[in-house]
Amino acid sequence: MVKQVVTQAVKQTNAAGELTHLLTLEGMPKEQIVQILDTAQQFVSVTDPAREVKKVPLLRGKSVFNLFFENSTRTRTTFEIAANRLSADVINLDISTSSTAKGESLIDTIDNLIAMQADILVVRHNVSRAPMEIAQHVPTFVHVINAGDGSHQHPTQGLLDMYTMRHFKHDFRNLKVAIIGDIVHSRVAKSNIHALTTLGCPEIRVIGPESLLPSDLDMLGVKVFHEMEAGLKGVDVVMTLRIQKERMEQGQVPEGNAFFKQFGLTQARLALAKPDAIVMHPGPMNRGVEIESAVADGPQSVILQQVTFGIAVRMAVMSMVAGN
Amino acid sequence: MKAEALYRKLLGELQAREVTAKLTPAHPQFCLAGLAVGGAWLAERLAKDLVLPQFGVINVAFHRDDYAEKGLSAMRSASTMPTHLPFEVNGAHIILIDDVLSTGRTVRAALNELFDFGRPAQVELMVLADRGKRELPITADFVAEFIDLPEEQILALEKDATGLFHFHIEERNG
C-alpha cells in the first residue's frame, strides 16, 4: 500500500553549495532553509502598504513556465503572482489540453520549453520524482522548482509552513507540532516532517487512522497517535490535511462524517492544545470533513496568512535559484 | 581614520541645518534614511542625537545591478534589515545617509528603492567617507572625509557593543 520512496541523491545545488533547483526538503541543510526563510522575510516587504510600486525588478527579462501536469489553482496562482512581483514573464501551460495529451513525451515537452528560452520551470506532476528527472535533463541555466510531485514532496509548501510557524512561534527548539489526517498520501506532511526535523523541532506528532499513516514514521522520529485527544494535548501547532480521495484505494478511510467524528478538528478538541496554538491547513480545505468551520474561521487559524506568506516564499526561491 | 570623529562632523552638519529649519517653520523638516546596514546604524544614532521622531532604512537588495553576476548572495548581509520608511515619502525632503561612497552604484539602487515608495520633493546624500572611483554620475552633498584606499581593500563600518563606530579595512578576496 505504501509506496517506498527510494532515497537517492538529488542534485539541487551547484559546486558552491548554492541552490540551483528546489526539488526536495529532504537532506536540505538547516542553513539553507534558514536562508530561504530570511530571504522570504525580505520579500514580504514588497507588499508593504507604504510601497506604491509593489514589484521589484530582479527577474526582469526572465521567463517562468508554470508546468502543471496536475491541477492546482492555488499553487499555480501563487507562483504566478510571485513571478509577476519579481517582474518575470509568466507562461502558464495547461498540460491537459496540450501536446502531452497528444502523446508527446515529458522530455520532449521540456526540450521544447528550453528552446522557447525558459529560465525557470515550475513543475507539478502526479508522478513522484518527475521534477528530479527534469532537473537532471535541463542545461545549467534552466532552474526547476518542484510544485508538488505525486505523494513525494511539496517543498515550497513545506517552506511556507516553516515560515508561518517561525513568524508566529519564533523558535523551533521548544515546539510541539501535530499533523493530522492523511499522512501517507501527503507530500506536504513529508516536506514538513523533514524541514521540522532539520530545524530542530523536538516533538513532531502525527494523528490519524492506521490506514493513513505510513509504516516508516518511527524512523523519522515522529510520535504516532491514533486518537485526537491524546495527540493534541499541549501542542503549539495543529496542522490538518485534506483527505486525498484521488490518491486512495476504496475503503481505505472512513467516509466523510465518520472521519470527522474521529479526526475532525473541532473547537472542543483544539481546546486540548496550548491556548495560543495556531491552526494551519495547506488547502484546499474540506469543511466538516477534516476541520470544523468554527475552527477554520476562528481566532487561532492562520490558514489565510499561510497563503500570503507562500507568495513571499516562492519569490525567495525563484530569485535564489535564478541567480545561482 | 576615526569613524567617531567623522560621525561628529556629520552630526554637526545636521545640527546646523536643524537650527535653520526651525527658523523657517514653513520649510519641511528633513527625514533621514540610512542605507542598510552601516548607513542605517548612522541614521539611527543621528535620529537619537538630534531627537528626531523617526528615521528610515533603505535596503537596496531589490535594485542591485549585480544580480545576474552574483545572484542574491549580496542580499544576505542586509537581509535582517528590510526597507522601512515610517514617514510620507511624497513631497518629503529626504537625506540619504551611508557609511562609504565609492562607485555610486549602491546610491543609484537606493534612489530606485526610495522612488518605489513615492516621489520625494528633494533628496540629498551625506556620507562618512568618500573613496572616489565613481562609476556613475553621483555625488554627495556632504562628505565627512575623502579617503584614498587601494581598490582591493574594502572599507566597512562596524558598531561595537557600546554603540561606538569603527572603520575596518579588509582585503577583497575573489
Per-residue pLDDT of chain A (324 residues; tens, 9 = 90+): 334 444 456 689 999 889 999 999 999 999 999 999 999 998 998 988 899 999 999 999 999 999 999 888 889 999 999 999 999 999 998 776 666 666 778 899 899 999 999 999 999 998 999 999 999 999 999 999 999 999 899 999 999 999 999 999 999 999 999 999 989 889 999 999 999 999 999 999 999 998 888 877 655 789 999 999 999 999 999 999 988 766 666 666 666 688 899 999 999 999 999 999 999 999 889 999 999 999 999 999 999 999 999 999 999 999 999 998
pLDDT of residue A30: 96
pLDDT at A292: 95
Question: Does residue B126 contact residue B142 with C-beta atoms inside 8 Å?
Answer: yes
Check CB contact of B81 with chain A, cutoff 8 Å.
Answer: no
- Which residues on chain A are in Cβ contact (under 8 Å) with B61? 42
User: Residue A7: its pLDDT value, please?
Assistant: 46
pTM (predicted TM-score): 0.88
Q: What is the pLDDT of residue B173?
A: 74
Q: Grid cell 510520535 — which residue? A: A223
Predicted ipTM? 0.81
Please give the pLDDT value at position B79. Answer: 64
State whether B75 and A44 contact (CB < 8 Å).
no
Q: Which residues of A314-323 are buried (b: 16+ CB within 10 A; e: fewer)?
A: bbbbbbbbbb
Summarised one tens digit per residue, pLDDT across range A301-321 is: 999 999 999 999 999 999 999
pLDDT digits (tens, 9 = 90+) for B73-93: 766 655 678 899 999 999 999
The residues spanned by each domain of chain A are 30-154+307-323, 155-304
CATH class of A155-304: alpha beta
A175, A237 Cβ separation under 8 angstroms: yes
Would you state the pLDDT for residue A5?
Answer: 46
By the CB < 8 Å criterion, does A298 face chain B?
Answer: no
Nearest in space to A277 (alpha carbons), one of A158, A164, A163, A154:
A164
In chain A, which among 57-86 make CB contacts under 8 A with chain B? 57-58
Q: Which residues on chain A are in Cβ contact (under 8 Å) with B83?
A: 45, 48, 51
Whether B117 sits inside 8 A of A42 (CB atoms) is no
Architecture of domain A30-154+307-323: 3-Layer(aba) Sandwich (3.40)
All structural domains of chain B with their residue ranges: 3-148
pLDDT of B174 above 60: no
Measure the CA–CA gap between A206 and A226, rounded to whole angstroms.
Answer: 8
Do domains A30-154+307-323 and A155-304 share one topology? The answer is yes
CATH of B3-148, one of 2.60.200.20, 2.60.40.1930, 3.40.50.10150, 3.40.50.2020: 3.40.50.2020
Q: Which residue of B has its CA nearest to A323?
A: B71
